[in-house]
Amino acid sequence: MSKITPFLWFNNQAEEAMNFYVSLFKNSSVGNVSRYGEGAPVPAGTVMSANFELDGQPIMALNGGPQFKFNEAISFFVNCENQAEVDALWDKLCEGGTPGPCGWLKDRFGLSWQIIPKQLGELMGDPDPAKSQRVMQAMLKMSKIDVPTLQQAYNG
């Protein structure tokens, strides 16, 4: 186990969320799953806690009840290789969720994600402040990040 592992608190959707997330990312798998037994405050057999990996990143999940909700103060940043990867992840994660500004979205479980193409950082990191500012201004108008539009802004 990693020294530091994100821990996600769900009301009662940990297993559904884990299986959904594992289906989206290569090099992902379900690890140990523990379930509530008889006499628990939820039906016996319901996932209590689970660990899984998303593209090699270990994550733990808990069905802990409705006391706590996700918010944008914590998000998963996904560094995408290209527009096709952005499009695929964005579309799947937005199903039942809510798109946000500048590459952010909230999935159907309420977890926030940043779906960001690596080209955004490359273009915004240009030493020419005029170019990087044009890219920033273009990005601020987007929900899902669009690489061709960023490149067009970069080129002026």
What 3 state SS string does 69-110 have? CCCCCCEEEEEECCHHHHHHHHHHHHCCCEECCCCEEECCCC
Q: Where are the domains of the chain?
A: 1-68, 70-156
The rounded distance, in Å, linking the Cα atoms of 86 and 89 is 5
CATH architecture of 1-68: 2-Layer Sandwich (3.30)
Q: What is the pLDDT of residues 99-144, one digit of tens each?
A: 999 999 999 999 999 999 999 999 999 999 999 999 999 999 999 9
**β pairing state of 98-99 and 29-35:** unpaired
User: At residue 28, does pLDDT exceed 70?
Assistant: yes
CATH architecture of 70-156: Roll (3.10)
**Nearest Cα to 149, choosing from 86, 76, 79, 77?**
86
- Order of strands, sheet of 75-80, starting from the edge strand that comes earlier in the sequence: 75-80, 112-117, 104-106, 98-99
- Tell me, what's the pLDDT at 98? 98
**Nearest Cα to 146, choosing from 105, 90, 94?**
90
Q: What is the pLDDT of residues 29-56, one digit of tens each?
A: 999 999 999 999 889 999 999 999 999 9
Is the pTM here over 0.85, yes or no? yes
- Tell me, what's the pLDDT at 24? 98
- Tell me, what's the pLDDT at 2? 78
